[in-house]
Amino acid sequence: MFDNLELFNKVIFRSLGRQIPIAQAKLIAAGTINQGIFIETSDGNFFLKLNFQPKSDIFEKESEGLKVLKKNTPLQVPEVFGFGKIGDQNYLLMEWIQSGRGNGSYWKELGLGLAQMHMASQADFGFETDNYIASLDQQNSSKGTWADFFVENRLEPMIGKAYYEGLVDLEFYKRFQKTYPLMEKIFPKERPALIHGDLWSGNIMSGTDGTPVLIDPAVYYGHREMDLAFSRLFGGFDEEFYEAYHTLFPLEPDFQARIPVYNLYPLLVHLLLFGKSYLSGIKKTVDKLLG
């Protein structure tokens, strides 16, 4: 790729205000949306994310999320140096964090750090701007209750989009909407908490010192159990993580029963991104809710 050195030089200059000689650049990640490039320079190393998304603010929103996390958690979060668009490519230039093996207290540190982050709060559920989860729009308009926020800003936009795109039929769309009046009684009443918003094992890593690092957030002030439920969806989190979290910020009883309801949202996201293989899990939860 790395006839793209002209692009990388432009990114560095725009982000740092000076030119730094590049020793090497190599592709280290190529997902469905973004490319990840390691850039080695005479003045340190950087991680560059690129994509061709028509939504030119997608990295701006990720940058905002990273900065909010960095201010509100003891966990390591990559520093952002710059974002923008050059030609048809969006870019986000960040601190390079060399990955390492988790140390003996990795999961405990992650649990305690997330609990501390969840203690950051504001008056209403939402965020100052809308943002994205992966490449999908994520609405964050302010709501006074979690049930209203979850239904109006999370479930309805995604199931409506799934219907529009032919991933669910009208009968199931209407059946799904019948769960909405039940939501108010399902969730414990808690203050809004700053959450990562996309907390699965692919969005955590360990640095060379073995301590946990948070990456790729989709932040907002929501119900803190959303993060913990999402972490259960695909697995990969040690039980020590949950035990440590609970010692600092205990959950209300019956959390396990609420997990499938919270995970309607990430399952809808995956349905929209990856197709109908995720629909059966959504239907199972809806059937259980409606009896």
In this structure, are strands 212-214 and 220-222 parallel, antiparallel, or unpaired?
unpaired
Tell me the residue type at 96.
Answer: W
> Is residue 11 pLDDT above 80, yes or no?
yes
Last residue of a domain, one of 95, 118, 153: 95
In-domain check, residue 35 = yes
Q: Helix (H, G, I), strand (E, B), or coil: what is residue 195?
A: strand
In-domain check, residue 101 = no
Tell me what pLDDT residue 236 has.
93
| Same structural domain, 159 and 186 | yes
| Same structural domain, 82 and 114 | no
pLDDT digit string (tens) for 92-105? Answer: 999 999 988 777 89
How many domains in the chain?
2
Percent of residues, the chain, with pLDDT higher than 90:
89
| Same structural domain, 183 and 244 | yes
Q: Give Cβ neighbours of residue 277 (< 8 Å, ≥ 6 apart).
A: none
Alpha-carbon gap, residue 30 to 57, rounded angstroms: 20
Alpha-carbon gap, residue 271 to 282, rounded angstroms: 9
| Same structural domain, 258 and 193 | yes
> Is residue 1 pLDDT above 50, yes or no?
no
Q: Give Cβ neighbours of residue 283 (< 8 Å, ≥ 6 apart).
A: 172
Structural domain boundaries enclosing 197:
106-290
> Is residue 229 pLDDT above 90, yes or no?
yes
> Is residue 161 pLDDT above 60, yes or no?
yes
Which one is catalytic: 148, 198, 209, 238? 198
In-domain check, residue 153 = yes
Confidence of residue 3 (pLDDT cuts 50, 70, 90): low
| Same structural domain, 201 and 131 | yes
| Same structural domain, 68 and 149 | no
Alpha-carbon gap, residue 144 to 6, rounded angstroms: 49
| Same structural domain, 150 and 256 | yes
> Is residue 2 pLDDT above 60, yes or no?
no
| Same structural domain, 74 and 126 | no
Query: Average pLDDT, stretch 118-130?
Result: 98
Helix axis angle, 106-118 to 239-248, nearest 10°: 40
Tell me what pLDDT residue 177 has.
98
In-domain check, residue 279 = yes
Tell me what pLDDT residue 56 has.
82
78-90: burial string, b at 16+ Cβ within 10 Å, e else: bebbbbbeeeeeb
Q: Helix (H, G, I), strand (E, B), or coil: what is residue 126?
A: strand
In-domain check, residue 239 = yes
Last residue of a domain, one of 73, 95, 117: 95
- CATH code at position 220: 3.90.1200.10
Least confident interval from 28-32, 54-58, 131-135: 28-32
Whether the CA torsion 246, 247, 251, 257 is positive or negative: it is positive
What DSSP state is assigned to residue 124? S
pLDDT digit string (tens) for 71-120? Answer: 999 999 999 999 999 998 999 999 999 988 777 899 999 999 999 999 99
Query: Average pLDDT, stretch 187-204?
Result: 97
| Same structural domain, 52 and 149 | no
Q: Helix (H, G, I), strand (E, B), or coil: what is residue 207?
A: strand
As a whole number, the mean pLDDT across the chain is 95
Residue scoring higher pLDDT (56 or 282): 282
Q: Give Cβ neighbours of residue 88 (< 8 Å, ≥ 6 apart).
A: 52
| Same structural domain, 164 and 113 | yes
Alpha-carbon gap, residue 262 to 144, rounded angstroms: 18
Query: Average pLDDT, stretch 185-197?
Result: 98
> Is residue 251 pLDDT above 50, yes or no?
yes
Query: Average pLDDT, stretch 205-229?
Result: 96
- CATH code at position 81: 3.30.200.20
> Is residue 55 pLDDT above 90, yes or no?
no
Q: Helix (H, G, I), strand (E, B), or coil: what is residue 10?
A: helix
Query: Average pLDDT, stretch 191-199?
Result: 98
Q: Of all residues in the chain, what percent are helix, strand and coil, respectively (each to 5)?
A: 45, 20, 35
| Same structural domain, 54 and 125 | no
In-domain check, residue 127 = yes
Last residue of a domain, one of 44, 64, 95: 95
The separation between CA 74 and the C-alpha centre of its own chain, rounded to angstroms, equals 18
| Same structural domain, 238 and 190 | yes
pTM for this model (two decimals): 0.94
Cα radius of gyration rounded to whole Å, the chain:
20
**Residue 209 designated active-site:** no
